[in-house]
Structure 1
Amino acid sequence: MKWLLALVSIIFLTQPVGADELLLSVGGGPQPGSKQNNKTYGIDYSFKTYEKSYRQHIDFGVSYTEVITDANENKRIKAFSIYPQLSLYPRKKSWGQPYFFVRALGPSYISSNQLGDRYQDNNFSFQAQVGYAARINWRGKEDLVLMVSWKHFSNANLFSDNDGIDIPFVINVGLRI
């Protein structure tokens, strides 16, 4: 485990590319496997980008998410996450750069282990998010970001109770600062 941490630290610290991207999010939709509907809002901050090639970027960031449900009890959770994000670009840069992204295994603290009828064994969870995005030239560079995605929190079956918490439709809007 120490060698893995050392390797990740070396890769992370030796890359010259910064990110400094701030995103605001809002979304909602029906919870799969349940009668409840979830809504969300939040903020993400990507602080580091490792550019393997013009087609592959890995971002590191932190995220704050609030999820509210229409169930009668346990109506709200707050989640604090650290995430890696893999972004895959289909072509070289142009006026606006579309890309596919995946956030997986982002360790998270959730403020409650229950949201409506959804149960987690404890307050440890992972954030997963998958979607489509675009970087758009706004002030002479690709600094405006628009994302559409699905967001999910679960403990990856590390613990016995693992009802996932889903937000099927999330829109992020942000700026590279």
Structure 2
Amino acid sequence: MLKISFGLLMLLLSGSSLAASLEHALMVNLGYGPQPSGHVSQRNFTSGVDLEFYRFQRSPRQWLSLGLSYSYLASDTEQHRSLHALSLYPQLTLLGEQYQQWQPWFFVRALGPTYLSEKQLGSRQQAKHFAFQAQVGIGATHLASQWQVALSYKHFSNANLDSPNDGFDIPLVFNFGKRF
């Protein structure tokens, strides 16, 4: 899997005749919410930072990007209260119609290879320290200042490659940052 991710990274970084840039975006995030579909009541929390380091514009309405994400996850349970996650993520961003000084967008991250410092968060378990990050959300960029805000749903699991695969979810994540 690491070879595939590294190959994808090299392909994207090798350049293209379409618009590619090394613009960056730095986002901090805070999130909270109940773990869905759990047999034990559990609420999860997150804080973290995302650094988008590469963006490839596929059309005037969409771009693909690569980034690194650090997430601290915690639960309100008595045991296995926290872990750290480090991810390399691909992201597809679809742009909406510009409204005054704001550019709305929708984003999807899928199959971002992730290292988990622990295999358990509260009552939820993963088979290995390796998992994937998935995230979906909506946001907007203020065009004059390049400040960004977004709301999203974040999920970590091993995509059923091994068992157990309970998944760790944070239903509501607030993201705030800037493009530079």
TM-score exceeds 0.5: yes
Q: 1:118 aligns with which of 117, 121, 124?
A: 124
Distance 1:80 1:11, change over 3 A: closer
Shift of 1:97: 0.5
RMSD across aligned positions (CA): 2.1
Does residue 154 of structure 2 align to residue 170 of structure 1?
A: no
- What is the TM-score of this pair, normalised by structure 1? 0.91
Q: Distance in 1 between matches of 2:9 and 2:163?
A: 30
**1:50–1:112 distance in 2 versus 1, CA, 3 Å:** same
Q: Work out which of the residue numbers 8, 20, 23 in structure 2 matches 1:19.
A: 23
Q: Structure 2: which 5+ residue stretches go unaligned?
A: none
Structure 1 pair 42/7, CA: closer, same or farther in 2 (3 Å)?
closer
Q: Does 1:44 align with 2:50?
A: yes
- Per-residue deviation, residues 77-108 of structure 1 (Å, max 9, x unmatched): 10000000000012368511101100000000
Q: Distance in 1 between matches of 2:92 and 2:43?
A: 28
SS at match of 1:156: coil
Identity %: 43
Q: What runs of 5+ residues in structure 1 fail to find an aligned partner?
A: none
| Structure 1 segments (4+ residues) deviating >6 Å | 1-5
1:161 is paired with a residue of what secondary structure? coil
Name 2:147's counterpart in structure 1.
Answer: 144
Alignment of 1:14-163 (within 5 A): 14-15=15-16, 16-34=20-38, 35-91=41-97, 95-139=101-145, 143-163=146-166
Per mean C-alpha deviation after superposition, the further-off stretch among 164-173 and 84-93 is 84-93
Q: Is the contact between residue 101 and residue 144 of structure 2 (CA under 8 Å) also seen in structure 1?
A: no
Cα deviation for residue 33 of structure 1 reads: 1.9
